């Protein structure tokens, strides 16, 4: 009789499923409307306009992580202690290499501190994060090959009181997995 179960050393190792994750400031309805209004000032710069529901500001990109690591990522994010801040988005810009047009602004110290803390917490889990300084931006269009002429938008004020862990699944809107409040007593 052939064995019903293969011997352990004949089992095929299945790769662990992964999830594509990033930390972001996720706009509430009012700020989202403000971003959409400013995006729409630019007309149609490319076919790759970011849909309204996906507009966000990335704080740290984690890439494809083993599904089993999500619990540790959430625990580490939940133990951060940062201050709330107010972002002012007051300019359009273009990243030539990425072909990305964005709405952005200066990074207040507390925004940099939040991004740095997330990076350090993820490094503690062995997750390497891009260590370039935070350039706060909301991507509006992709695949823009030439620098457009930009108008100056009215400043959009964004009180950032929480941050989110978000999942990117191809073909679907981004999914907010979890949101944490940042300390809101001191606002910078």
Q: What does residue 121 show for φ and ψ, rounded to 5 degrees?
A: -65, -40
* Shortest spacing between CB 25 and ligand 2AM, in angstroms: 11
| Tokens of residue 150, six digits | 């930009």
Beta pairing class for 162-168 and 137-142: unpaired
Considering only residues 1-40, where is the footprint of ligand 2AM by CB under 6 A?
Answer: 22
| Inter-CA distances, 75 with 50, 87, 104, 179, Å | 30, 26, 29, 12
DSSP 3-state of 8? helix
Q: Of 36, 70, 41, give the one whose Cα is nearest residue 55.
A: 36
Considering only residues 73-112, where is the footprint of ligand 2AM by CB under 6 A?
Answer: 100
What span, in angstroms and rounded, lies between the C-alpha atoms of 55 and 155? 17
* Shortest spacing between CB 168 and ligand 2AM, in angstroms: 5
- Annotated active-site positions, please? 56, 137
x/- track of binding to ligand 2AM for residues 40-59 (CB under 6 A)? ------------------x-
Output 22 or 85, the one with its CB closest to ligand 2AM: 22
Considering only residues 122-151, where is the footprint of ligand 2AM by CB under 6 A?
Answer: 130, 139
x/- track of binding to ligand 2AM for residues 157-186 (CB under 6 A)? -----------x------------------
Output 58 or 164, the one with its CB closest to ligand 2AM: 58
* Shortest spacing between CB 103 and ligand 2AM, in angstroms: 11
- The H-or-E segment that residue 55 falls in is none
Output 9 or 131, the one with its CB closest to ligand 2AM: 131
| Tokens of residue 126, six digits | 């062995």
Cβ pair 180, 77 in contact under 8 A: yes
Footprint on this chain of ligand 2AM (rule: CB under 6 A): 22, 58, 61, 100, 130, 139, 168
């Amino acid at each position: 009789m052939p064995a019903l179960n293969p011997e352990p050393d004949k089992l095929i190792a299945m790769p662990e499923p992964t999830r594509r994750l990033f930390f972001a400031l996720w706009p509430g309805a009012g700020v989202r409307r403000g971003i959409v209004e400013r995006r729409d000032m630019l007309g149609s710069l490319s076919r790759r306009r970011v849909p309204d529901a996906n507009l966000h500001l990335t704080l740290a990109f984690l890439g494809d992580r083993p599904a089993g690591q999500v619990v540790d990522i959430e625990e580490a994010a939940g133990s951060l202690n940062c201050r709330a801040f107010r972002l002012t988005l007051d300019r359009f810009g273009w990243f030539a290499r990425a072909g990305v047009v964005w709405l952005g602004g200066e990074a207040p110290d507390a925004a940099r501190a939040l991004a740095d803390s997330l990076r350090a917490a993820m490094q503690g889990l062995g997750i390497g994060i891009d260590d370039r300084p935070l350039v706060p931006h909301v991507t509006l269009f992709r695949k823009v090959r030439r620098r457009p002429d930009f108008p100056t938008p009215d400043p959009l004020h964004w009180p950032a009181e929480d941050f989110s862990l978000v999942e990117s699944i191809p073909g679907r809107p981004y999914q907010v997995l979890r949101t944490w409040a940042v300390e809101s007593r001191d606002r910078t």
